Amino acid sequence: MSDMNQQMTAKYKNNFLKEIEEQAEMGDWVKMCMQCGVCSGSCPTNFHSGWDHPPQELFMLIRAGKRDEVLNSNSMWNCVSCYNCYVRCPRKIPITHIMHGIAEYAYRIGRAPKSQPTLHLSQTFWNNATKTGRVNEVKLTQTLYFKDGIASGIKKAMAMQDVALGLVKAKRLNPLEAVGISHKCKDIKGIHAMLDKARELEAKRKGRTA
Amino acid sequence: MAKKEYAFYPGCSSQKGASASNYLVSVNSMNKILDVKMTEIPDWNCCGASISYAESGELPRLAMNARNFALSEQYLPGQDIVATCAACWLGSRESKERLEHNNVLLADTNTALKEAGLNLKVIPEVRHMVEVLIEDLGYAELARHVKKPLDGMKIAGYVGCQTNRPFGISGESYENPMYLDKLIETVGAEATKYDQKVTCCGGALAFSEPDKAQAQIKDIIEAAYDSGAEMLVTPCPLCQANTEVYQGQINKKYGTKFQMPVLYYSQLMTLAYGGSAKDAGLDGQVIRARKMEEFAAK
C-alpha cells in the first residue's frame, strides 16, 4: 500500500463516504443518488463488456463503505466523457465529473488498476500538453504506441500505418513534430510555475502530503 | 451598430499541421465572407480536454483555463471568447462555471496565476463558433450569403457529445438538437434523419480503447448510410477525426465498405458561399469528399 493510501485510511477510518466527499472532485454529490440507474442505461460504453460496476452501483458501494471494491474498480476508467448520464440524471448529479473524480483519487493514492490504458492516456495527454502549453500530436501518438516497449510499439504503429499516412497526406499530422518542431506557448516558464503552485495548493487544501 | 469582435481560442488541434487544421482554414474563409472578426488570444494554452482528468487534478486544469481567460481580458477586454473546438469550449465553460461559483477555487486559481504574472477579475463569456453563427448572426443572415446552394446533397448532421452536453446550444434539446440540421438546410442541402445524431464517437478512448470506440463509430456511420446520407457533417474536431480516420480499420474488422467523407459545418458554408475547395480546406480530408470537390469546381 502506498503512503498516501495509508495516510487517507488512517484519516477517514471507516467513513469512506466522507473520504470521497472530501477528496474526489464533486464527491459531495454521491449521497444524492437514488439508485434509478438512468446513468447506466444512458452510457454508450455499457453496451460493451468489461465494466465492474455501473455508476449507481459505485455510488451505493461508496455509501456502504466498500473502499477496496470502489478504488480497484475499472468502471470509472471506461468513461468517454459524453455527458449523457450527466444530463439525464433526474437528481442532476454531475455523474461524469464524479466518475473522473473517483478515478483521479484512486490514481492519486496509488490504487488505480495497473496498466490501465485510459489512465496512461490521461497522464500522457496532460504531460504532453503542459510541457510546452500546447499538445504535440505526434509525440502524443508515439508515447501511446510505445508504452509497452519498442516491439509492441512498432506492431501498433504498423497496424495504424494507414491512419497515420492518411493524416500526413492531408497535412493533418506533421512528422516534424516528432523532433520537437511544434507549436508551443511563449511563456512556458510561467505556465510551469503556475502549475507547480496549483498542485501545491490542491494538495494542501485536501490535506494530502505528497 | 458597431460590429461585434471576438477573442479567438483556436485550440491545439486547429493549428497548422495538426489534426483539425482544415477546420481552421474553413472557419477563416467562412468568417471572412460573414464579416466576423476574431482575434487570436495571445499565447493561449491547451484547455486540458476531458481526458486529462486523472493526471491534472482539478486546480491545475482550472489554472490552465484561467490563464486563457486572464490573457483574453488583458489583451482583448470585453470580448467574448469563441472556441471552434468542442472540447476547448466545454473545458473553458466548465472552468468558468466552477470559478464563478466557488470562491475558494477562484482565490487559489489567482494565487497560481500570479506565478505566471496574471490576475483574473472578470471571466469573459465563452462561446462556441456555432453560437456566434446562430445567435449573433442568425439563420437568415447565414442564408443571405449563399451563392451556390448545395441542392440535392444528402447530409447527416452528426452533433456528437460535447457541443450538445452538458451545456448545449441554447434552446436545443439534448436528445434531438436541430441546429446542425438547420445549418445544413440553410445552405440548401437535405439533412437526413438518423438515430445516431448525438451518439458518442468514443472521444479520447479511440486511443486507449480502440475496439470499444470503433464499435460506437461503426454504429454512427452505418446509421448515416441507412438514412441515405452521402456524408457526415460535424461541429467537433475529435468527432470529425474519429468518424473519418478509423473507417478503414472498421472495414477490416467488420467487413463493411465504409467510405463516407466527414466535413465540418464551416466547410459546407464556405462552399455554399462560393468558396473554392482550397478555401474550404477540402485538401485536408483523409476520405476525399469528391462530390464536394466537383461542386467547388463548378
pLDDT above 70: residue B2: no
The pLDDT value recorded for residue A49 is 66
pLDDT above 60: residue B1: no
Euclidean distance between CA atoms B258 and A53, whole angstroms: 34
Of all residues in chain A, the percent with pLDDT exceeding 90 is: 69
Number of CB pairs, chain A paired with chain B, less than 8 A apart: 222
Domain ranges for chain B, please list them: 5-129, 147-297
pLDDT above 80: residue A1: no
Select from B55, B205, B207 the Cβ nearest to the Cβ of A127: B55
Select from B16, B56, B165 the Cβ nearest to the Cβ of A84: B165
For residue B211, which residues of chain A lie inside 8 Å, CB to CB? 48
Nearest CA in chain A to B54: A104
Euclidean distance between CA atoms A140 and A123, whole angstroms: 10
H or E element, residue A16: helix A16-23
Inter-chain residue contact B205 with A80, CB threshold 8 Å: yes
Inter-chain residue contact B166 with A185, CB threshold 8 Å: no
Which stretch of A34-48, B18-32, B252-266 has the lowest confidence by average pLDDT? Answer: A34-48
Tell how far CA B250 is from the center of its chain: 24
Inter-chain residue contact B19 with A137, CB threshold 8 Å: yes
pLDDT above 90: residue B30: yes
Select from B111, B216, B284 the Cβ nearest to the Cβ of A171: B284
Nearest CA in chain B to A110: B54
Q: For cell 460504453, what's the residue?
A: A45
Q: How far is A63 from chain B (nearest CA, A)?
A: 23
The closest of B5, B14, B25, B37 to B236, measured between CA atoms, is B14
The pLDDT value recorded for residue A141 is 86
3-state secondary structure of A13: coil
Q: Are strands B5-9 and B37-40 parallel, antiparallel or unpaired?
A: parallel
Phi-psi region of A110 (alpha: psi -120 to 50; beta: other; left: phi over 0): left
Inter-chain residue contact A183 with B59, CB threshold 8 Å: no
- Please, are residues A76 and A103 in contact by the beta-carbon 8 Å criterion? yes
Tell how far CA A61 is from the center of its chain: 20
For residue B18, which residues of chain A lie inside 8 Å, CB to CB? 135, 137, 172-174, 183
The pLDDT value recorded for residue B41 is 98
- Please, are residues A81 and B161 in contact by the beta-carbon 8 Å criterion? yes
For residue A137, which residues of chain B lie inside 8 Å, CB to CB? 12-13, 18-19
Average pLDDT of the residues in B193-211: 94
For residue B19, which residues of chain A lie inside 8 Å, CB to CB? 137, 167, 172-173
The pLDDT value recorded for residue A27 is 97
Q: Angle at the Cα of A45 (from A44 to A46), degrees rounded to 5?
A: 90
For residue B176, which residues of chain A lie inside 8 Å, CB to CB? none
Compute and round to an integer the Cα radius of gyration of chain A: 20
pLDDT above 90: residue A33: yes
Euclidean distance between CA atoms A94 and A30, whole angstroms: 9
Inter-chain residue contact B203 with A83, CB threshold 8 Å: no
For residue A191, which residues of chain B lie inside 8 Å, CB to CB? 45, 64, 67, 116
Lookup: cell for B239:
468527432
Which stretch of A56-65, A145-154, A163-172 has the lowest confidence by average pLDDT? Answer: A145-154
DSSP 8-state symbol, A103: H
Inter-chain residue contact A122 with B52, CB threshold 8 Å: yes
Quickly state the pLDDT bin for A142 (edges 50, 70, 90): confident
Among the four given CATH numbers 3.20.20.60, 3.40.50.11810, 3.20.20.140, 3.20.20.110, the one describing domain B147-297: 3.40.50.11810
The pLDDT value recorded for residue B211 is 92
DSSP sequence for B209-249: SHHHHHHHHHHHHHHHHHTT-SEEEES-HHHHHHHHHTHHH
Q: For cell 442505461, what's the residue?
A: A41
Average pLDDT of the residues in A83-106: 97
Inter-chain residue contact A80 with B204, CB threshold 8 Å: yes
For residue B57, which residues of chain A lie inside 8 Å, CB to CB? 104, 108, 198-199, 202
Inter-chain residue contact B116 with A187, CB threshold 8 Å: yes
Average pLDDT of the residues in B2-31: 94
Chain A interface, best mutation among B9, B41, B50, B239, by max A CB count within 10 A: B50
Euclidean distance between CA atoms A2 and B97, whole angstroms: 34
Q: Where does chain A hold its CATH 1.10.1060 domain(s)?
A: 3-114
DSSP sequence for chain B: -PPPEEEEE--GGGSTTSTTHHHHHHHHHHHHHHT-EEEEPTT-----TTTTHHHH-HHHHHHHHHHHHHHHHHHSTTPEEEESSHHHHHHHHHHHHHHHH-HHHHHHHHHHHHTTT---S-PPPEEEHHHIIIIII-HHHHHHT-SS--TT-EEEE---STTTSSS-STT--SSS--HHHHHHHHTT-EE---TTTT----TTHHHHSHHHHHHHHHHHHHHHHHTT-SEEEES-HHHHHHHHHTHHHHHHHH-------EEEHHHHHHHHTT--TTTTTGGG-SS--HHHHHHHH-
For residue B117, which residues of chain A lie inside 8 Å, CB to CB? 187, 190
Strand order in the sheet with B5-9: B37-40, B5-9, B80-83, B126-128
pLDDT above 90: residue B270: yes
The pLDDT value recorded for residue B220 is 98
| pLDDT tens sequence across B114-158 | 999 999 999 999 999 999 999 999 999 999 999 999 999 999 999
The pLDDT value recorded for residue A153 is 78
In this structure, which topology does domain B5-129 adopt according to CATH?
Glutathione S-transferase Yfyf (Class Pi); Chain A, domain 2 (1.20.1050)
Contact partners, residue A204, CB within 8 Å, separation at least 6: none
Phi-psi region of A81 (alpha: psi -120 to 50; beta: other; left: phi over 0): left
Q: Please, what is the average pLDDT of chain B?
A: 97
The pLDDT value recorded for residue A175 is 86
CATH 1.10.1060 fits A3-114, yes or no: yes
Average pLDDT of the residues in B23-27: 98
Inter-chain residue contact A190 with B60, CB threshold 8 Å: no
The pLDDT value recorded for residue A210 is 55
